[in-house]
């Protein structure tokens, strides 16, 4: 079969690979929808992700599809009843369930988190642990494109819960990429008042369609805090940083009200540092936190948002690309492609 293989920094190839045989407890899923992701772009630009993927390796991690082969565990696990033809969505990881963090209910921080990559392909093998913990059936009417949003959406659900967003709050989202837009949709669904600061007209228009009451074009991003304050004098109860740059982290802390909360959701490059005035944090009684990844519970919550229509692919997926052209697509993304998310056609 054809699959995208990451060989290193900005080195992605489409290759013929032999589908691996199934081990007990595994299933093979025929990919019906797989989407590009900002995390994949970071990995492409940096050449690896120490916890998630080490080249050479199959690439891509957002998927929905149909089970086309199964191999039951030995002995057959209680409740294991997967079969060919089941319509499914899979997360890109599964916790171990036994380490300190799993026992504390922090499966996103599992010391032995098992990651799954390889969705930019005609099919993928879902490991037994992931089948057990994070493979979910889809309702008959659920579109595969919608379902493929479950994994990134689950991360946003984690961020919403960590930030304790609630109805009536004034929320600032910095960044109008897919993650920032998902925060807009979920915050609006909660009854919040949302301002979005970002770039590119199409993304800011998408933020408005999803319920943002104000959008601010930040231009070149310089003097970010002053620019946002000038355009939106609102006192923000919470700020979501969905960009992943040190200067944006620093601006976020200056834009939240006294007693407010900042979620540094966007991961900055390794080795970077930020600086905050101690008096700002102490005397303003700020809560500064960060959210990472998802848990089995937030994966299930995300699927409910998809299947109830709160999150729909048409609001986020604005392009298509055949698998054969994926390396070129990532090069254009690295150069500043304006698409929000792109559906990859794995069969041409």
Indicate whether 114 and 67 sit together in one domain.
yes
Which CATH number characterizes residue 94's domain? Answer: 3.90.180.10
Same domain, 144 and 256: no
Same domain membership, residue 163 and residue 34: no
| Domain coverage including residue 226 | 153-289
Window from 137-151, 174-188, 206-220, 333-347 with minimum mean pLDDT: 333-347
Whether 130 and 68 share a structural domain: yes
Residue 167 lies in a domain: yes
Query: Do residues 134 and 6 share a domain?
Result: yes
Q: Residue 179 belongs to a domain with what CATH number?
A: 3.40.50.720
Which residues, including other chains, have CB under 8 Å from residue 103's CB and lie 6 or more apart? none
Q: Is residue 21 part of a domain?
A: yes
Partners of 33 in beta bridges: 64
Asked if residue 175 is part of any domain, the answer here is yes
Query: How does residue 78 score in pLDDT terms, banded at 50, 70 and 90?
Result: confident
Whether 134 and 19 share a structural domain: yes
Closest to 238 measured CA to CA, from 257, 251, 265: 257
Q: Mean pLDDT in the chain?
A: 96
Partners of 216 in the β-ladder = 197
Q: Are residues 209 and 140 in the same domain?
A: no
Please tell me whether residue 300 adopts helix, strand or coil conformation.
helix
Residues 182 and 140 both lie in one domain: no
**Whole-model pTM?**
0.96
| Alpha-carbon span 265 to 285, nearest angstrom | 20
Say if residue 228 is in the same domain as residue 112.
no
Q: Tell me the C-alpha distance between 109 and 112, whole Å.
A: 9
116 occurs within a structural domain: yes
* Angle formed at CA 145 by CA 14 and CA 175, multiple of 5 degrees: 85
Q: Is residue 308 part of a domain?
A: no
Confidence of residue 308 (pLDDT cuts 50, 70, 90): very high
Residues facing 124 on adjacent strands: 29
Q: Do residue 11 and residue 139 come from a single domain?
A: yes
| Cβ-contact 90, 101 below 8 angstroms | no
For the beta carbon of residue 44, count every other beta carbon within 10 angstroms: 22
Q: Is residue 103 part of a domain?
A: yes
* Domain total of the chain: 2
| Residue 126, number of CB atoms within 10 A of its CB | 26
User: For residue 181, which of 206, 152, 160 has the smallest C-alpha distance?
Assistant: 206
pLDDT in tens, 179-201: 999 999 999 999 999 999 999 99
Query: Same structural domain for residues 34 and 53?
Result: yes
Per-residue pLDDT tens digits for 8-23:
999 999 999 999 999 9
Omega of the bond leading into 210 within 30 degrees of 0 (cis): no
Same domain, 110 and 76: yes
Token readout for 248 is 């944006």
Two tokens, residue 183: 């925060």
The answer to the question of residue 176 being in a domain is yes
CB atoms within 10 A of CB 293: 21
């Amino acid at each position: 079969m054809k699959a995208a293989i990451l060989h290193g920094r900005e080195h992605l190839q489409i290759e013929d690979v032999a589908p691996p045989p199934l081990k007990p407890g595994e299933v093979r899923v025929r990919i019906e929808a797989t989407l590009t992701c900002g995390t994949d772009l970071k990995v492409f630009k940096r050449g690896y992700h120490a916890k998630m993927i080490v080249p050479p390796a199959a690439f891509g991690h957002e998927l929905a599809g149909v089970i086309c082969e199964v191999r039951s565990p030995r002995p057959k696990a209680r409740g294991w009843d997967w079969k060919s033809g089941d319509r499914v969505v899979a997360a890109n990881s599964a916790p171990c369930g036994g380490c300190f963090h799993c026992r504390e209910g922090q499966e996103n921080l599992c010391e032995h988190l098992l990651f799954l990559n390889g969705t930019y392909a005609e099919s993928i093998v879902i490991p037994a642990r992931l089948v057990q913990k994070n493979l979910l059936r889809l309702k008959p009417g659920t579109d595969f494109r919608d379902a493929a949003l479950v994994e990134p959406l689950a991360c946003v659900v984690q961020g919403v819960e960590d930030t304790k967003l609630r109805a009536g709050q004034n929320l600032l989202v910095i960044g109008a990429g897919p993650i920032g837009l998902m925060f807009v949709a979920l915050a609006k669904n909660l009854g919040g008042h949302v301002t979005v600061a970002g770039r590119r007209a199409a993304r800011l228009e998408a933020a408005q369609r999803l319920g943002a009451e104000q959008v601010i074009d930040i231009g070149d991003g310089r003097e970010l805090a002053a620019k946002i304050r000038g355009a939106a004098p609102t006192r923000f109860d919470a700020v979501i940083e969905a960009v992943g740059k040190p200067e944006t982290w620093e601006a976020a802390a200056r834009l939240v009200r006294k007693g407010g909360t900042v979620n540094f959701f966007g991961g900055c490059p390794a080795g970077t540092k930020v600086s905050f005035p101690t008096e700002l944090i102490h005397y303003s009684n700020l809560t500064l936190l960060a959210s990472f990844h998802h848990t089995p519970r937030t994966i299930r919550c995300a699927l409910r948002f998809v299947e109830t229509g709160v999150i729909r692919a048409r609001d986020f997926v604005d392009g298509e690309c055949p698998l054969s052209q994926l390396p070129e697509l990532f090069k254009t993304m690295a150069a500043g492609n304006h698409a929000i998310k792109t559906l990859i056609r794995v069969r041409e």
